[in-house]
Chains A and B, each alone.
Chain A
Amino acid sequence: EPEVTQTPSHQVTQMGQEVILRCVPISNHLYFYWYRQILGQKVEFLVSFYNNEISEKSEIFDDQFSVERPDGSNFTLKIRSTKLEDSAMYFCASSEQGLYSPLHFGNGTRLTVT
């Protein structure tokens, strides 16, 4: 069964550094998302992306964050200057028909900011 893949599985970075989290969505999916889960807390929506542009973003997704689909298969989340509170599990998700179909999640990237 096709799946969403994320790399790396674990990333450690120092405060103030830039990180790029990578995702390969399911190939025929057109809608892409990033969510995050701080340890012990709820999964939170960050951003949705369709047709090469952001559809919607949450309050969490401030100017430090950006997303990109650099080619036909990858979808990336960049954090420009990481803060301690950015430490979390970041999940990429994709869906075939946006809001009308189930979301398929990757296994996540655990980001640790020291």
Chain B
Amino acid sequence: KQEVTQIPAALSVPEGENLVLNCSFTDSAIYNLQWFRQDPGKGLTSLLLIQSSQREQTSGRLNASLDKSSGRSTLYIAASQPGDSATYLCAGLGNPGGGADGLTFGKGTHLIIQP
């Protein structure tokens, strides 16, 4: 059964810094991995989706990587802004057709960007 762990649980950095959020998963037979952002009282917003055949995806100041062999994904945020403050969730999808339609989520990293 896939387990997803995110480190650190919380992070506070000054505005303008580059930062890295980490995600690890136990089953390397991962089909794809998504990073989400969750604001208080809101739903989840998909940030980046990396298919198993890809190594990374970029969107604006965000870059996500996937290393299946080591069971790791990272989310890199460049030039952080106060508006980036949120909880960031990593979620992996297991092997489709093998009874694994659902995403397995980590507990998230609560990020605070200090103005």
Q: Given the complex, which residues of B lie within 8 Å of A105, measured CB to CB?
A: 36, 43-46
Nearest opposing residue in chain B for A99, CB measure: B96
Nearest opposing residue in chain B for A3, CB measure: B43
Q: Is B23 an interface residue (CB 8 A)?
A: no
Of the candidates B32, B44, B46, which one forms a contact with A99 in the assembled complex, judged by CB atoms under 8 Å apart? B32
Q: How far is the CB of A29 from chain B (nearest CB, A)?
A: 13
Asked if A42 meets B43 with Cβ closer than 8 Å, knowing A48-B102, A58-B102, A102-B34, the reply is: no
Query: Is there an interface contact between A99 and B107, defined as CB atoms closer than 8 Å?
Result: no
Asked if A55 meets B43 with Cβ closer than 8 Å, knowing A42-B107, A99-B93, the reply is: no
Q: Is A103 an interface residue (CB 8 A)?
A: yes
Query: Is there an interface contact between A48 and B44, defined as CB atoms closer than 8 Å?
Result: no
Nearest opposing residue in chain A for B89, CB measure: A43
Contact with A along B94-106 (1 / 0, CB 8 A): 0010011111111
Question: For residues 15 through 43 of chain A, which have their beta carbon under 8 Å from a beta carbon of chain B?
Answer: 33, 35, 41-43
* Chain B count of residues within 8 A CB distance of the other chain: 26
Q: Given the complex, which residues of A lie within 8 Å of B42, measured CB to CB?
A: 107-108
* Chain A count of residues within 8 A CB distance of the other chain: 27
| A46 CA to B105 CA, complexed, in Å | 12
Q: Is B76 an interface residue (CB 8 A)?
A: no
Question: For residues 65 through 106 of chain B, which have their beta carbon under 8 Å from a beta carbon of chain A?
Answer: 89, 91, 93, 96, 99-106
Question: For residues 40 through 73 of chain B, which have their beta carbon under 8 Å from a beta carbon of chain A?
Answer: 41-46, 49, 51
Q: Given the complex, which residues of B lie within 8 Å of A91, measured CB to CB?
A: 43-44
Contact with A along B27-42 (1 / 0, CB 8 A): 0000110101000011
Q: How far is the CB of A71 from chain B (nearest CB, A)?
A: 23
Of the candidates A41, A100, A103, A108, which one forms a contact with B103 in the assembled complex, judged by CB atoms under 8 Å apart? A103
Query: Is there an interface contact between A103 and B101, defined as CB atoms closer than 8 Å?
Result: no
Query: Is there an interface contact between A42 and B105, defined as CB atoms closer than 8 Å?
Result: yes
Query: Is there an interface contact between A45 and B102, defined as CB atoms closer than 8 Å?
Result: yes
Q: Is A68 an interface residue (CB 8 A)?
A: no
Instruction: Give chain B's interface residues, CB within 8 Å of chain A.
Output: 31-32, 34, 36, 41-46, 49, 51, 89, 91, 93, 96, 99-108
